[in-house]
Structure 1
Amino acid sequence: MAHLLGAENLSVAFVTRTILDGVSLGLEDGDRIGVVGRNGDGKSTLMRLLAQRQKPDSGRVTQRRDVSVGYLDQTDVLDGALEVGQAIVGDQADHEWASNPKIRDVMGGLVSEVDWHAKVSSLSGGQKRRVALAKLLIGDDDVIMLDEPTNHLDVEGVAWLAQHLRQRWRPTEGGLLVVTHDRWFLDEICNHTWEVHDAVVDDFDGGYAAYVLARAERDRMNSVIESKRVQLVKKELAWLRRGAPARTAKPKFRIEAANELIADVPEPRDSLALSKMAMSRLGKDVLDLEGVSLSLPVDGDGAGQRTLFQDVTLRLAPGQRLGLVGVNGSGKTTLLHLLNGDVLPTGGKVKRGKTVQTAVLSQEVRELDELGNSRVIEVIEAEKRVFSVGGKEVSASQLVEQLGFTNEKQWTRVSELSGGERRRLQLLRLLVGEPNVLMLDEPTNDLDTDTLSAIEDVLDGWPGTLVVVSHDRYLLERVTDSQMALLGDGRLRDLPGGVDQYLELRRAAGPLTATGSAASPANSGGSAGTGGSSEAELRQARKDLTRIERQITKVDAQKGKLQQQMNEAGSKADADFDRIADLDAKLRALQTETGELEEQWMETAEILGE
């Protein structure tokens, strides 16, 4: 493989702290490298150095003469005065860029929902991110460096980006360097992992799963990492090995070594035990949406209305762990507001159990603004001094340390914390308040992989109802037991097949916006549809579609009855957990049947072009 670029003895220090110390490494043709490490350990600094956007204190960066490098920064670097189209393709005429299949693919994958003629300054943060990414990806760079590219992307956008990067070059060509906390993304695209820690960079073969194993083995052999961190890594590895076959088959590491390492590691959480605890804390009823509809004004004067939800029914059970996915703007955050009582529906009703105490982790974490002068430990101790985790009592200081706040950091003022540290602190603050329904809105923003593992460990032992909105499919699969989707048409759909099923549903629906309308300059030429189907076939397909939809409705009703029976059985003082387990098995069978029916629906809808 040909050498693309490299570093020789790089050193960088900020004030009294050394970020990198004598680091030497290289990027070759065919390398797809993921960069991981704790927040502040130098991941972005390393990337800026390699992209020659920053100069080291000592050492040098070498680059092959004919190599071009594309770089996506975390910060907004677009000219706000430009229109979206001009920001991406410059002064090219439509027929020029539209004749290039690679550019059309990038446009359709990233900016199909963005107004082509809108000013960049008028876009949301997520839209600006997509535009900047599209501008980079339409180029022909030999090396692409991406700093947190999945920020603000929904699950569908992350899946598209992973596929694009896998297919962008031949296996032995091009180089990719990516800093991201998205562990699924790392496993999908990377064949090497660089861990930045303690001013050095360690190289591991394989994606995130292989890195977890190698790090666990390194920590065990060296015996220099404290035992609790080893246990966290082993627990993470156990999840990887017991997860979906696609995840465990791909990484190139010895399965025998993995099985030996996790032989004594229990399942991440005891679902039945947590269910018992949740039922005792919540009682029969939690939160129910019954036939809820919600319309919001399209603009400030209220002249137009947009229907966000239409006849949505959702019943949360004690101890249920639900993940919500959907395109940006489909109403995920609004659904949390409905459940929390912050927004009232325009139709239907919201029922709230008498013992329900909710807590919501918002995306902005503005709740901490008024506590800027308080110390981290003071914020937590003001709520509670002793907390139960996994059946064990820990002090506030111990819990704060578990989520990455060292003894020294615990006395830092809130106003001096980074975005990721504020998010960690607010989550802790919510947990020590002992809610029995916890709702997390994009909890992975600004967090590194180590912190995410620690948070997942805390959530494993939390005995309450959990609702998570996230584009991080690894987190959703890790901490939730079921997933549902907002498809942008006012409906809420069960996903017995998980995030993969959601992506299939979205592909079958076509490149629609959150409001259900097609909007892509890249997709303006040509249309998918009925192809060569005869009129008789189309008539039969319409009948089949109606039949399948009736079956889905019938199965959904059966699932609702089973869920109600489980709630009633669990609310009794002498709860029969054998009966609960039997009902749960029946419910899972119905969820499988729903998945099969939805697959039939997608195949039939494809014939009709719907």
Structure 2
Amino acid sequence: MESYQHAGVSILSTERLGHNYHDKWLFKNLHIGLHRGDRIALVGANGAGKSSLLRILAGELNPTEGSVVRERGVRIGYLSQNPGFESLNSINDFIYSADNQQQSLIRKYEELVSLPDAEPRKLAELSDQISALDAWEYEHNIKGILSRLQITDFAQEISKLSGGQRKRLALAKLLIDEPDVYILDEPTNHLDIETIEWLEKLLTTGRKTVLLVTHDRYFLDTVCTEIRELNLGKMTTYAGRYSYYLEKRAEQEEEAAATLKRDRNLLRKELEWMRRQPQARGTKSKARIDAYHALEEKTKGLATDGDLQLAIKMSRQGSKILELENISKQFGAHRPIHDFSYVFKKGDRIGLAGRNGTGKSTFLNLVTGSITPDQGKITLGETTVLGYYQQGGLDIQDNERVIDIVKNVAEHINMANGEMLTASQLLTQFLFPPEKQFGFASKLSGGERKRLQLMRILMQNPNFLILDEPANDLDIDTLNILEDFLVNFPGILLLVSHDRYLLDRLTDQLFVFDGHGKITLYNGNYADYKLEHEEEQKAITSNSQKVTPALLETDARRKLSYKERREHDLLGEEIPVLEQRVSEKTNALNNTNDHLALADIAAEIEQLNQQLDTKMERWMELGEYI
């Protein structure tokens, strides 16, 4: 471990911070300091107190003891794992703050433009006010962030949003507000890979101050330049990126193991000495007895928490596994899968790639039989046993104990080495001690629930594992153990994950979804695919550009012609109209039960969105030279 000292005064710090949860101290006497420009990742096992610490620093939770000190006027933006929106009704209410003059004017302008009989005089007045505040670029940035995070219907009610949509909405608001300190709890959850890479660039541009918790190791290594580990209530600082932290922690673990071995040998000798002495304590050396008890406590403290065991028996797999023959699936005018065929073979390790909404979950639902294809045929082999790990997690009742959830699957479980374990023994191997086993499952942390869900799936001895975002809510250590198991899993693996590290390590083929029905088979992992795709895009750009005097102008000298400036202004008027039409058609879609009308409206929405994307792209392109 390296100590790391910052120059200057902390803009956010703690004094003798301590917090107690369920009669257990998560941490005590904790001292933390954040300086401008710090980009820090907080790591530690599930239950170590990472999320509680972020909430305390953000002012969302009062600590049991100690205090948080903030520089006067410092603005903190906090993204929680499960954002709440209090009494706010629409996305507009949340995004545009009434106390932010620029945002307030932009909202008024957007609402006025959406009216069919908007008064030109009022529009001109608002336009002048926005220009006076130099807020047009600000409005452009807001729309860019919202569009990137797939937020387009600003009139939509927040109560009707999914968990993923809520998380993206909360992230959008935080990025729009540009706080002095970004405190982010699992910011990559519910984002597709392209958006994660965009977020990486945004957080590393400028001198932003960032404190985050994430399981995404590529994201962590790209964004953060310092790691702070919360373990057994203590904080250790590593002045370097995640890869440096791993090296140093490995060295520490080797040293700790050697120390533990020496101490246990000494403890054994001291124990023999204690046993040889007479029962009368007065005849013994009090100092030596005290030293014995101190050593005993020390070796307890160095004992490891145990390793997660993932060695459950796999069902025998026959020659016929799963066959997809010309399958298609359509929802209204949207067709995510069209005429796709594939015969799964032994050893297949396939990742599903594509932006959110391109059909990956639909594909998994087809494979598992949750839905049926509109066309084509799916044939499951007689010996194929599917194990489906879904994002939704376990459906847990308030009065249900952990051990009951396991016993509902089986009382005894066959292991890969031929042993047979009871449900309680298996739970212990999965790091659920007896007090957890007989406690209520509703009190488990998010990561513990995911671990229990995975255990239940593996108990069914699957030979075809389907994992939909397995990394969410798991700490990095548990994730590493899961990866080691999956690397050696002899069955078929089908994986959906925004975790690029996971995709790179576990898959050697991709099904790439374009969102319009086409699924392309790519031989290679995600890193290979991204590199090849970037090279193709460079070649296309290079070939499409012709060397002209206009193209030789630098960006600094490039000026819009009158015609281009007029085009930009017209696009600025057309885009809100298109957005309003999309909003109206979406409302119509949600309020009709006529299946024929549904298909027509959905087709019109798709066509409008295509027009909107084209116009928005051109408007943003021209806007760079204004």
Q: TM-score, normalised by structure 2?
A: 0.67
Residue 108 (structure 1) aligns with: 147
Instruction: In structure 1, give the amino acid aligned to 2:181.
Output: V
Residues 356-505 of structure 1: pairs in structure 2 closer than 5 A: 356-366=384-394, 372-373=400-401, 375=403, 378-379=406-407, 382=410, 384-388=412-416, 395=421, 399-496=426-523, 498-500=525-527, 501=529
The alignment status of 1:333 with 2:333, answered yes or no, reads no
Instruction: In structure 1, give the amino acid aligned to 2:618.
Output: S
Residue 284 (structure 2) aligns with: none
Q: Percent sequence identity over matched residues?
A: 36
Residues 184-583 of structure 1: pairs in structure 2 closer than 5 A: 184-223=218-257, 281-296=316-331, 304-366=332-394, 372-373=400-401, 375=403, 378-379=406-407, 382=410, 384-388=412-416, 395=421, 399-496=426-523, 498-500=525-527, 501=529, 518=609, 524-527=615-618
- Find the aligned partners of 2:58 and 2:475 in 1 and give their Cα distance: 22
Report the Cα offset of residue 186 of structure 1.
0.7
Worse-superposed segment, 522-531 or 204-213: 522-531
Query: Aligned-residue CA RMSD in angstroms?
Result: 3.6
Residue 138 (structure 1) aligns with: 176
Residue 119 (structure 2) aligns with: none
Question: Contact (CA 8 Å) 1:67, 1:142: kept in 2 or not?
Answer: yes
Q: 2:76 pairs with 57, 69, 90, which one?
A: 69
Distance 1:189 1:516, change over 3 A: farther
- Find the aligned partners of 2:418 and 2:222 in 1 and give their Cα distance: 37
- Find the aligned partners of 2:429 and 2:244 in 1 and give their Cα distance: 24
- Find the aligned partners of 1:520 and 1:216 in 2 and give their Cα distance: 54
Residues 51-66 of structure 1: pairs in structure 2 closer than 5 A: 51-66=58-73
Q: 1:14 pairs with 15, 21, 27, which one?
A: 21
Distance 1:102 1:53, change over 3 A: same
1:503-557 alpha-carbon deviations (Å, 9 max, x no partner):
98699699xx9979747989854529999xxxxxxxxxxxxxxxxxxxxxxxxxx
Distance 1:190 1:401, change over 3 A: farther
- Find the aligned partners of 2:347 and 2:59 in 1 and give their Cα distance: 50
Instruction: In structure 1, give the amino acid aligned to 2:213.
Output: V
Question: Contact (CA 8 Å) 2:401, 2:437: kept in 1 or not?
Answer: no
Distance 1:52 1:366, change over 3 A: closer
Report the Cα offset of residue 192 of structure 1.
0.8
Question: Contact (CA 8 Å) 2:513, 2:520: kept in 1 or not?
Answer: yes
Worse-superposed segment, 426-435 or 412-421: 412-421
Residue 277 (structure 2) aligns with: none
- Find the aligned partners of 1:436 and 1:370 in 2 and give their Cα distance: 32
Question: Contact (CA 8 Å) 1:376, 1:414: kept in 2 or not?
Answer: no
Residue 92 (structure 1) aligns with: 105
Question: Contact (CA 8 Å) 2:90, 2:157: kept in 1 or not?
Answer: yes
Distance 1:77 1:157, change over 3 A: same
Question: Contact (CA 8 Å) 1:72, 1:149: kept in 2 or not?
Answer: yes
Instruction: In structure 1, give the amino acid aligned to 2:323.
Output: D
Question: Contact (CA 8 Å) 2:512, 2:519: kept in 1 or not?
Answer: yes
Instruction: In structure 2, give the amino acid aligned to 1:498.
Output: N
Instruction: In structure 1, give the amino acid aligned to 2:454.
Output: L
Instruction: In structure 2, give the amino acid aligned to 1:321.
Output: R
Question: Unaligned stretches of 5+ in structure 2?
Answer: 1-6, 98-103, 111-126, 262-309, 542-581, 583-604
Question: Contact (CA 8 Å) 1:79, 1:87: kept in 2 or not?
Answer: no
Worse-superposed segment, 403-412 or 522-531: 522-531
The alignment status of 1:127 with 2:165, answered yes or no, reads yes
Worse-superposed segment, 418-427 or 138-147: 418-427
- Find the aligned partners of 1:479 and 1:380 in 2 and give their Cα distance: 31
SS in structure 2 opposite 1:138? helix
1:329-388 alpha-carbon deviations (Å, 9 max, x no partner):
222122112112222111111122222111211222346559924516953882643311
1:96-152 alpha-carbon deviations (Å, 9 max, x no partner):
4552254344233223x5323322222222122112111111123221111121222
Question: Contact (CA 8 Å) 2:334, 2:516: kept in 1 or not?
Answer: no
Instruction: In structure 2, give the amino acid aligned to 1:320.
Output: D
Worse-superposed segment, 130-139 or 496-505: 496-505
- Find the aligned partners of 2:29 and 2:606 in 1 and give their Cα distance: 52
Aligned residue pairs total 466
Question: Contact (CA 8 Å) 1:34, 1:186: kept in 2 or not?
Answer: yes
Distance 1:378 1:115, change over 3 A: closer
Worse-superposed segment, 406-415 or 423-432: 406-415
- Find the aligned partners of 1:204 and 1:324 in 2 and give their Cα distance: 35
Question: Contact (CA 8 Å) 2:511, 2:520: kept in 1 or not?
Answer: yes
The alignment status of 1:164 with 2:177, answered yes or no, reads no
Distance 1:155 1:177, change over 3 A: same
Report the Cα offset of residue 190 of structure 1.
0.6
- Find the aligned partners of 1:332 and 1:106 in 2 and give their Cα distance: 24
Question: Contact (CA 8 Å) 1:402, 1:454: kept in 2 or not?
Answer: no
- Find the aligned partners of 1:366 and 1:516 in 2 and give their Cα distance: 38
Distance 1:364 1:15, change over 3 A: closer
Question: Contact (CA 8 Å) 2:146, 2:152: kept in 1 or not?
Answer: no
